[in-house]
Amino acid sequence: MFRSALAAVPSQVRSASQMRLASTLVWVEHDETAVKQSTLNTIAAAKKIGGDITALVVGTTDKVAADVAKIAGVNKVLVAKGDAYKGLLPEAVAPTIVALQKKYNFTHILAPTSTRGKNILPRVAATLDVGMVSDVTDVLAEDTFERPIYAGNAIMTVKSKDKVKVATVRNTAFAPVAATGGSAATEAVEGGAASSISTFVKQDLVKSERPPLPTARVVIAGGRGMQNGDNFKILYELADKMGAAVGASRAAVDSGFCSNDMQIGQTGLIVAPELYIGAGVSGASQHIAGMKDSKTIVVINKDAEAPFFEIADYGLVADLFKAVPEMTKKL
């Protein structure tokens, strides 16, 4: 893997006084009832920056605020509550973050590299007239970060000279902090006004007993080799036996085999499970960018020349329609 330096990287040794000067605001990702694990990963990145960590809970209720206060490493929890945040629209959330930045003068503002995080923080950076550092995978210093480029084939070192560093954090790059053990103080802050340019109408969620893809310990993905959507049934059966989540390559999604929320890759979800099983996935670079950090990679494909075999820990050259049911039967 190549590494590209955008600017000279300063010494990673930071003095105690520098550590105290840093103060990070972390936007808490939640569903109004529970905190998403991506928040724990983002707080881990904030701890690596050093200094005080303030967590911001924005929503129509403050149900999750008590849980956020227990997260290890959090010094304070700010709660912005109001009907304006229904649906957590970025047009309502971003101005709240900007207002808090002007009030508390944070040195860093972080959020997970999720759909909402990527929608909110660029608005914050533009309003503050500072640069946006996306998809951070490592913190080298308070002003220096690493992020992947060229579909993960190179790592860029970015040094920000802005007074406020605004960044999204790749969840799989940082081990989550403990969800308990903290005792942060909670403070209510003034909520924002409803957006005049967008309105939340409804949200249709797909309910599943399987674990969510981004946090699953085992992920089974199907590619174009599945031939059609009905054939994903054999992956679901194996997943149910293994307690796994089921994903797909972009080719499978574009072919209409499954929904967009199952897509793994550069333009989809980033996963890093303990075990990844790819069935009928050729191994395009954009898909590999979304799962290359998996601990163990197993590839099943009848094409022995499939590029996916090059990064596999275990490869099985076989007909997946015979191999997968056989695996399910033996579990």
Q: Check pLDDT > 70 for residue 185.
A: yes
83-122 pLDDT tens trace: 889 888 999 999 999 999 999 999 999 999 999 999 999 9
pLDDT of residue 252: 96
The Cα-based distances of 220 to 209, 210, 277, 307 in angstroms read: 15, 11, 5, 18
Q: Check pLDDT > 70 for residue 13.
A: no
pLDDT of residue 191: 79
- DSSP structural state of residue 177: P
| Percent of the chain surpassing pLDDT 70 | 94
pLDDT of residue 19: 44
Work out the burial of residue 176: count CB atoms within 10 Å of its CB; fewer than 13 is exposed, 13-18 middle, 19 or more buried: middle
pLDDT of residue 62: 83
Q: Check pLDDT > 60 for residue 127.
A: yes
129-168 pLDDT tens trace: 999 999 999 999 999 999 999 888 899 999 999 999 999 9
Higher confidence at residue 164 or residue 5? 164
pLDDT of residue 205: 72
Alpha-carbon distance of 108 to 189, in angstroms, equals 19
Here the tokens at position 75 are 């010094």
Closest to 43 in 3D by CA, of 77, 76, 71, 12? 71
272-287 pLDDT tens trace: 999 999 999 999 999 9
